[in-house]
Amino acid sequence: MAVQQTIDTIIAQGMLPLYFNADEAVSTEVLRALYKAGVKAVEYTNRGAAAFSNFKKLVAVRDQEMQGLLLGIGTVKNLQDTKEYLEAGADFFVSPGFVPEIAAFAAEKEIFYAPGCMTPTEIIAAENAGVRFIKLFPGDMLGPKYLGTIKDIFPKLLFMPTGGVDATEESIEGWFKAGVCAVGMGSKLVSKQLMAAGDYTAIEQMTATVLNMIQSIKSK
């Protein structure tokens, strides 16, 4: 999947939903709910023993039911996992930190890679490795003010905070005013409680609400 196409898709929807559930059926139903809400790019996180087998199932379901949906893998921390997920059908990679080997591999394969960065030193290293899209992590510790302070140093980069972004207009608008191109949303959007209850309708409705909220914020 071309890097620019992935970037354009994430920017257009203004957020990147991310989640993991050990249960394959739950993972599948959450993906369906996100897709029904209008999501075109989803990050499934590599956070449990079942992640790889679940991901392969999600790819199969996506291919059958969800035309045009980009399905990426998050929390990749080494090159071996990255290669295995690419073979399994991953459209893009996201990691909690900057991994030079993954950056080089993604560049070679011309696949989108968003490394997690916290400091200017990490961001510079990522930029020098050819990365164009930075996952600002953890977002709740850094905050919009931090991004506003450093963003002018990196005029060619795109930023997306992940971690602690609330599903409220105040939280999301604060980040967009600081200059992000999108927000990463995990448990504040796809909560463990809703997944445990099997309330996929609530996940779909909240996701649709947030997508609409973001479009409204961006149009101001």
> Which residue's entry shows tokens 């399905």?
71
Q: 10 Å Cβ neighbour count for 127?
A: 17
Instruction: Say yes or no to pLDDT of 1 above 80.
Output: no
Helix (H) or strand (E) holding 88: helix 79-88
| pLDDT score, position 220 | 84
| pLDDT score, position 17 | 99
Strands, E assignment, the chain:
15-19, 41-45, 70-74, 92-95, 112-117, 133-136, 158-161, 183-185
- Tens-digit pLDDT profile for residues 163-210: 989 999 999 999 999 999 999 999 999 999 999 999 999 999 999 999
Mean pLDDT in residue range 117-122 = 98
Does 161 sit behind a cis peptide bond, omega within 30 degrees of 0 on the bond before it?
A: no
| pLDDT score, position 12 | 98
| Per-residue confidence band for 85, with pLDDT thresholds at 50, 70 and 90 | very high
- Tens-digit pLDDT profile for residues 14-60: 999 999 999 999 999 999 999 999 999 999 999 999 999 999 999 99
- Tens-digit pLDDT profile for residues 104-114: 999 999 999 99
Q: Give me the chain's average pLDDT, please.
A: 97
% of the chain at pLDDT higher than 90: 98
Domains of the chain: 3-212 (3.20.20.70)
Instruction: Say yes or no to pLDDT of 160 above 70.
Output: yes
> CA dihedral defined by 84, 123, 19, 171, rounded to 10 degrees?
-170
